[in-house]
Structure 1
């Protein structure tokens, strides 16, 4: 009985953590899909980052420290001006003109000869979304292998994993596989490119994304067992 109760408590804790991780990934994913002028400006408040979970990850905690310091540095600047500055950075990095300074698509980093972000990874990501019964609907008509969409895909898998049971375990395994084999291998190059282009907020946000995905890698969908 004692072992059963411990397993139930551990499962409940894991499900709650997965749900919280889903929300964290969703925030980061949405932040990469649109400028701050079109989304939440909560990131301008250091209290937001102080409350943001690090899931016990040193990498995530380090990124959050950087984001907290970044938010604190701008406290004396009018909010509208800060939103405008972050939105201008977004446009310079991911829109252009004449083209994005940093490509936000997986295809650009993993396939030779891709210059516009549309390649084989785009088709693979479309198929993953189809299999998950998810549909991309955004005003910017981004390719399916956009970093923001891939992070939102991770968020949805984490949310489903939080439901527990066999289905949740299957989704957790799918999430880990995608992160390990597909997203993390190119996200580091994306982050490096951001800093090379002088990114501030979005470089720190990419650091946070890597930290959160590290949390996913450490998550095991296997049920715990009692010691003999």
Structure 2
């Protein structure tokens, strides 16, 4: 690794913040994300198959969107977002962990309450409480972004407990369901944009897990 840990924490915060904001609401305003150039210049190398495949899908999708007017491109992606994550009726790919973690396919299940407690313990609260489960993928990713920002400027010895918390969050509240979620998004997507985005997020989580394990190992050697 050639980057300093401070640079890595900044990159992680930026990546997770971008993913979270892209999934909490339909993308509006920043239409550069619908261009091939944006994804070809993505600030992370294809460290695993999921990142590689996700970026390839996003580049392919962007090539199709660039053939449309800006208004039509936004409309198509917004229709996909609504159909997948909101409805009408039952969303085709619910973006909440509890839906995939229990046999009854329920919202506001056990993991939603666990995430609510995790937010509380970190002095945080969802602005969408009582309307959107706290185990929404966007909220879970945003929490990772916030926790990564908190690492910046801390002594490495004080970073260990925060890194452990993030490893737990990645393992127990994201990697445990994002593969099935990704399958549903790809199966029911219309433009392919969100299928590529979720697969990219999956790959970033896998990359990040290895990175955090490397950090923990280096601190164990120092200790």
- Kindly indicate whether the alpha-carbon contact (under 8 Å) linking 2:147 and 2:162 is maintained by their aligned counterparts in 1: yes
TM-score by length of 1: 0.85
Q: In structure 1, what is the Cα distance between the partners aligned to 2:169 and 2:87?
A: 30
- Equivalent residue for 1:215? 207
Show structure 1 runs of 5+ residues with no match: 1-8
Superposition deviation, residue 52 in structure 1:
1.4
Map 1:71-150 → 2, pairs under 5 A: 71-115=62-106, 117-138=107-128, 141-150=131-140
- Kindly indicate whether the alpha-carbon contact (under 8 Å) linking 1:161 and 1:169 is maintained by their aligned counterparts in 2: no
Superposition deviation, residue 161 in structure 1:
2.7
Out of 140, 149, 157, the residue aligned to residue 159 of structure 1 is 149
CA deviation profile, 1:63-98 (whole Å, cap 9, x unmatched): 222212221222221111100110011111111111
Q: Once superposed, which parts of structure 1, at least 4 consecutive aligned residues long, lie more than 3 Å away?
A: 138-141, 223-226
Superposition deviation, residue 56 in structure 1:
5.4
Instruction: Indicate how the Cα distance of structure 1 residues 139 and 178 shifts in structure 2: closer, same or farther if over 3 A, else same.
Output: closer
Q: C-alpha root-mean-square deviation of aligned residues, in Å?
A: 2.2
Out of 9, 26, 29, the residue aligned to residue 35 of structure 1 is 26
Out of 7, 21, 29, the residue aligned to residue 16 of structure 1 is 7
SS across alignment from 1:65: helix
- Equivalent residue for 1:201? 193
Deviates more, 1:132-141 or 1:28-37: 132-141
Larger Rg: 1
Q: In structure 1, what is the Cα distance between the partners aligned to 2:88 and 2:171?
A: 33
Aligned residue pairs total: 215
Q: In structure 2, what is the Cα distance between the partners aligned to 1:76 and 1:182?
A: 38
- Kindly indicate whether the alpha-carbon contact (under 8 Å) linking 2:19 and 2:201 is maintained by their aligned counterparts in 1: yes
TM-score by length of 2: 0.87
